[in-house]
Amino acid sequence: MARFKKAGGRAVPGINTGSMSDIIFMFLFFFMVITTIRTSTLLVKIMPPKATEVQKLEKKSLVSFIYIGKPLNAELGTESRIQLNDSYATVASIQAFVAAERQSRNEFDRKLLTTSLKVDADTRMGIVTDVKQELRKASAFKINYSTSKLNKDKL
Protein backbone atom coordinates (compact mmCIF):
# COMPACT_ATOMS: atom_id res chain seq x y z
CA MET A 1 0.00 0.00 0.00
CA ALA A 2 2.71 2.34 0.96
CA ARG A 3 4.20 2.53 -2.47
CA PHE A 4 0.99 4.01 -3.93
CA LYS A 5 0.93 6.72 -1.32
CA LYS A 6 1.65 10.10 -2.80
CA ALA A 7 4.01 12.19 -0.86
CA GLY A 8 2.10 14.80 1.08
CA GLY A 9 -1.27 13.34 -0.01
CA ARG A 10 -4.20 13.43 2.37
CA ALA A 11 -4.41 10.35 4.61
CA VAL A 12 -7.49 8.24 3.77
CA PRO A 13 -9.45 7.42 6.93
CA GLY A 14 -9.79 3.70 7.55
CA ILE A 15 -13.15 2.03 6.85
CA ASN A 16 -15.21 1.59 9.94
CA THR A 17 -15.68 -2.15 10.30
CA GLY A 18 -18.04 -1.86 13.22
CA SER A 19 -21.13 -2.53 11.11
CA MET A 20 -19.56 -5.24 9.02
CA SER A 21 -21.24 -7.92 11.07
CA ASP A 22 -24.65 -6.39 10.43
CA ILE A 23 -24.08 -6.44 6.70
CA ILE A 24 -22.83 -9.99 6.72
CA PHE A 25 -25.80 -11.12 8.79
CA MET A 26 -28.11 -9.33 6.45
CA PHE A 27 -26.67 -11.20 3.47
CA LEU A 28 -26.82 -14.41 5.38
CA PHE A 29 -30.50 -14.02 6.21
CA PHE A 30 -31.28 -12.87 2.71
CA PHE A 31 -29.74 -15.90 1.09
CA MET A 32 -31.22 -18.20 3.66
CA VAL A 33 -34.62 -16.93 2.69
CA ILE A 34 -34.37 -16.98 -1.09
CA THR A 35 -32.56 -20.23 -1.63
CA THR A 36 -34.03 -23.67 -1.39
CA ILE A 37 -31.86 -26.60 -0.52
CA ARG A 38 -31.47 -28.73 -3.59
CA THR A 39 -31.17 -32.37 -2.71
CA SER A 40 -30.12 -33.69 -6.06
CA THR A 41 -28.43 -32.22 -9.09
CA LEU A 42 -30.62 -32.30 -12.15
CA LEU A 43 -29.49 -34.51 -14.98
CA VAL A 44 -32.48 -33.74 -17.15
CA LYS A 45 -33.76 -30.49 -18.59
CA ILE A 46 -37.00 -29.47 -16.96
CA MET A 47 -39.18 -26.57 -17.98
CA PRO A 48 -42.37 -27.19 -16.03
CA PRO A 49 -45.69 -26.35 -17.69
CA LYS A 50 -47.63 -23.35 -16.43
CA ALA A 51 -50.95 -23.59 -14.65
CA THR A 52 -53.29 -21.30 -12.76
CA GLU A 53 -54.91 -23.71 -10.31
CA VAL A 54 -51.85 -24.64 -8.31
CA GLN A 55 -51.63 -25.82 -4.74
CA LYS A 56 -48.57 -25.51 -2.61
CA LEU A 57 -46.89 -28.61 -1.32
CA GLU A 58 -47.20 -28.31 2.40
CA LYS A 59 -44.42 -30.31 3.95
CA LYS A 60 -41.19 -30.60 2.06
CA SER A 61 -39.97 -33.53 4.11
CA LEU A 62 -42.94 -35.58 2.93
CA VAL A 63 -42.30 -35.13 -0.76
CA SER A 64 -40.25 -37.37 -3.00
CA PHE A 65 -39.37 -36.20 -6.45
CA ILE A 66 -39.35 -37.94 -9.81
CA TYR A 67 -37.82 -35.98 -12.65
CA ILE A 68 -38.61 -36.68 -16.29
CA GLY A 69 -37.13 -34.81 -19.23
CA LYS A 70 -34.54 -34.78 -21.94
CA PRO A 71 -31.00 -35.53 -20.72
CA LEU A 72 -28.79 -32.49 -20.23
CA ASN A 73 -25.89 -34.48 -21.59
CA ALA A 74 -26.37 -34.29 -25.36
CA GLU A 75 -24.48 -37.54 -25.89
CA LEU A 76 -27.37 -39.43 -24.36
CA GLY A 77 -29.72 -38.37 -27.12
CA THR A 78 -33.06 -36.59 -26.91
CA GLU A 79 -35.26 -39.40 -25.64
CA SER A 80 -36.93 -38.44 -22.32
CA ARG A 81 -35.34 -40.07 -19.31
CA ILE A 82 -36.38 -40.60 -15.73
CA GLN A 83 -34.18 -39.35 -12.93
CA LEU A 84 -34.46 -40.71 -9.41
CA ASN A 85 -32.18 -39.25 -6.77
CA ASP A 86 -28.88 -38.58 -8.54
CA SER A 87 -28.95 -40.95 -11.47
CA TYR A 88 -30.93 -41.95 -14.52
CA ALA A 89 -33.36 -44.75 -13.91
CA THR A 90 -35.81 -46.94 -15.73
CA VAL A 91 -39.53 -47.32 -15.18
CA ALA A 92 -38.87 -50.67 -13.51
CA SER A 93 -36.88 -49.13 -10.64
CA ILE A 94 -39.67 -46.80 -9.51
CA GLN A 95 -41.27 -49.28 -7.15
CA ALA A 96 -37.94 -49.81 -5.38
CA PHE A 97 -37.48 -46.05 -5.21
CA VAL A 98 -40.89 -45.56 -3.59
CA ALA A 99 -40.15 -48.34 -1.12
CA ALA A 100 -36.83 -46.73 -0.20
CA GLU A 101 -38.48 -43.34 0.21
CA ARG A 102 -41.09 -44.89 2.51
CA GLN A 103 -38.42 -46.66 4.50
CA SER A 104 -36.59 -43.41 5.20
CA ARG A 105 -39.66 -41.78 6.79
CA ASN A 106 -41.09 -42.65 10.14
CA GLU A 107 -44.16 -44.80 10.33
CA PHE A 108 -46.62 -42.00 10.89
CA ASP A 109 -45.47 -39.99 7.90
CA ARG A 110 -45.52 -42.83 5.40
CA LYS A 111 -49.19 -42.46 4.59
CA LEU A 112 -48.77 -38.77 3.88
CA LEU A 113 -45.93 -39.20 1.41
CA THR A 114 -46.55 -37.29 -1.80
CA THR A 115 -44.75 -37.93 -5.05
CA SER A 116 -44.04 -34.82 -7.01
CA LEU A 117 -43.66 -35.35 -10.73
CA LYS A 118 -41.32 -32.75 -12.15
CA VAL A 119 -41.81 -33.23 -15.83
CA ASP A 120 -40.73 -31.17 -18.81
CA ALA A 121 -43.63 -29.68 -20.77
CA ASP A 122 -42.42 -31.25 -24.03
CA THR A 123 -42.34 -34.79 -22.67
CA ARG A 124 -44.70 -37.26 -24.31
CA MET A 125 -47.39 -38.66 -22.03
CA GLY A 126 -46.36 -42.27 -22.67
CA ILE A 127 -43.49 -42.25 -20.21
CA VAL A 128 -45.55 -40.27 -17.68
CA THR A 129 -48.35 -42.80 -17.92
CA ASP A 130 -45.86 -45.63 -17.35
CA VAL A 131 -44.55 -43.87 -14.25
CA LYS A 132 -48.08 -43.33 -12.98
CA GLN A 133 -48.87 -47.03 -13.48
CA GLU A 134 -45.77 -47.96 -11.47
CA LEU A 135 -46.78 -45.56 -8.72
CA ARG A 136 -50.19 -47.19 -8.59
CA LYS A 137 -48.54 -50.58 -8.27
CA ALA A 138 -46.38 -49.21 -5.46
CA SER A 139 -49.51 -47.75 -3.77
CA ALA A 140 -48.12 -44.22 -3.90
CA PHE A 141 -51.43 -42.61 -4.77
CA LYS A 142 -50.84 -39.02 -3.76
CA ILE A 143 -49.15 -37.27 -6.62
CA ASN A 144 -48.51 -33.69 -7.59
CA TYR A 145 -47.85 -32.47 -11.10
CA SER A 146 -45.24 -29.80 -10.56
CA THR A 147 -46.11 -26.62 -12.43
CA SER A 148 -45.10 -23.01 -12.28
CA LYS A 149 -47.69 -20.47 -11.31
CA LEU A 150 -49.37 -18.44 -13.99
CA ASN A 151 -51.57 -15.53 -13.08
CA LYS A 152 -55.16 -15.82 -14.20
CA ASP A 153 -55.31 -12.54 -16.10
CA LYS A 154 -52.37 -13.58 -18.27
CA LEU A 155 -54.20 -16.51 -19.78
Partner 1 sequence: MADISFLLLTFFLLTSSINTDQGITRKLPPLAPATQKSVNIKDRNVLKVLVNKSDYLLVQGKPINIKELKETVKTFLSNPGNRADFPEKEIKEIQGLGRIAVSKGVISLKNDRGTSYGAYIQVQNELTAAVNELRNELSKQKFGVPFTDLKDEIASEAITKAIPVAISEAEPENIGGK
DSSP three-state, residue 43? coil
Q: Which of 44, 52, 63 is nearest to 112 (CA)?
A: 63
DSSP three-state, residue 141? coil
Q: Considering the complex, what minimum distance in angstroms separates the CB of residue 16 from partner 1?
A: 8
Select the residue interacting with partner 1 from 13, 56, 107, 153 (CB under 8 A).
56
The answer to whether 89 and 15 have CB atoms below 8 angstroms apart is: no
Q: According to the binding rule CB under 8 A, does residue 92 interact with partner 1?
A: no
Q: According to the binding rule CB under 8 A, does residue 46 interact with partner 1?
A: no
Query: Of 43 and 54, which has the nearer Cβ to partner 1?
Result: 54
Q: According to the binding rule CB under 8 A, does residue 60 interact with partner 1?
A: yes
Residue 48, CA distances (Å) to 60, 67, 98 in order: 18, 10, 22
Angle CA 20–22–28, to nearest 5: 105
Query: Of 89 and 127, which has the nearer Cβ to partner 1?
Result: 127
DSSP element (H, E) containing 130: helix 125-137
By CB under 8 A, what part of segment 103-132 binds partner 1?
Answer: 114, 116-117, 119-126, 128-129, 132
Q: According to the binding rule CB under 8 A, does residue 78 interact with partner 1?
A: no
DSSP three-state, residue 48? coil
Point out which residues pair with 67 in neighbouring strands.
83, 118
Q: Which stretch binds partner 1 (CB under 8 A): 3-11, 12-20, 87-95, 97-105?
A: 12-20
Query: Of 43 and 120, which has the nearer Cβ to partner 1?
Result: 120
Residues that bind partner 1 (CB under 8 A): 16, 18-19, 22-23, 25-26, 29-30, 33-36, 48-49, 51-57, 60, 63, 114, 116-117, 119-126, 128-129, 132-133, 135-137, 139-149
